[in-house]
Amino acid sequence: METLTLDISELGPLTDDALYRLCRANRDVRIERTADGTLVVMAPAGGQTGRRNAYLVAQLVAWTQETGRGVAFDSSTGFVLPNGAMRAPDAAWVAQPRWDQLSDIEREQFPPLCPDFVIELSSASDRLQPAQDKMVEWMRNGCRLAWLIDPSAQRAYIYTTPDAVTTVDSFDETLDGQTVLPGFTLSLAPLR
């Protein structure tokens, strides 16, 4: 997915409310804010990426409904992280007690928390290093488990801390939700 970076520092800080309104007014693009306030604008996903992302979200939603342990989110959900960034992972999950602590307004807008679990799906045009940097950002902000899935290389990266990364080099494998999402598994084969 091609991205465009906008430096809006001359305008002053973009509040969470203003960012929410900007995103709602521009629903055809995906907008994120980095910790330093830079806006990152991404085009809508292509067909293959959209198909793969739908599979990821469907699997996560099915597990969430079966267990009742939390709330699952798709790629249209932005989260305001402790470092000030607003990021929108391809799929995310938040444990129910953490979700229940948010006010109705916080749930309606960009929830001010880091998900417990995220999945980022690389598209053919994504560069690996920025994607890996984003995974480290997730982990440094409180994410407990994160998967970066790269269908082009048929490789997945499993993050359990900012520095602990396990590489899965075959899409014949199945990923495991470990203690964060006990019993959740994801077959990588459909992402080919």
How many domains, in total, are found in the chain?
1
Span 88-113, average pLDDT: 98
123-146 pLDDT per residue, tens: 888 899 999 999 999 999 999 999
Residue 92 domain-assigned (yes or no):
yes
5-51 pLDDT per residue, tens: 887 777 777 899 999 999 999 988 899 999 999 999 998 889 999 99
Model's pTM, two decimal places? 0.94
What's residue 126's pLDDT? 87
Can you give the CATH number for the domain in which 117 is found? 3.90.1570.10
Residue 8 domain-assigned (yes or no):
no
Residue among 144, 70, 140 at smallest CA distance from 102: 70
Residue 166 domain-assigned (yes or no):
yes
Share of the chain above pLDDT 90, in %: 85
Residue 6 domain-assigned (yes or no):
no
User: Above 90 in pLDDT, residue 64?
Assistant: yes
Residue 65 domain-assigned (yes or no):
yes
User: Above 90 in pLDDT, residue 4?
Assistant: no
**What's the DSSP call for residue 148?**
E
Identify the weakest region by mean pLDDT among 26-35, 51-60, 64-73, 83-92.
26-35
User: Above 70 in pLDDT, residue 121?
Assistant: yes
Residue 22 domain-assigned (yes or no):
no
In whole numbers, what is the pLDDT of the chain averaged over residues? 95
Residue 55 confidence class, pLDDT cut points 50, 70, 90 = very high
Residue among 157, 152, 162 at smallest CA distance from 191: 152
- Residue ranges in 70-119 assigned as alpha helix (H): 96-100, 104-108
Q: Judging by DSSP bridges, how do beta strands 86-87 and 91-95 pair with one another?
A: unpaired
Residue 170 domain-assigned (yes or no):
yes
Residue 30 domain-assigned (yes or no):
no
Name the residue range of residue 176's domain.
46-191
Residue 44 and residue 29: Cα distance in Å, rounded?
6
**What's the DSSP call for residue 45?**
P
Span 161-185, average pLDDT: 98
Own/partner contacts of 126-132, CB < 8 Å, gap of 24 or more, are 126/1, 132/157
What's residue 2's pLDDT? 66
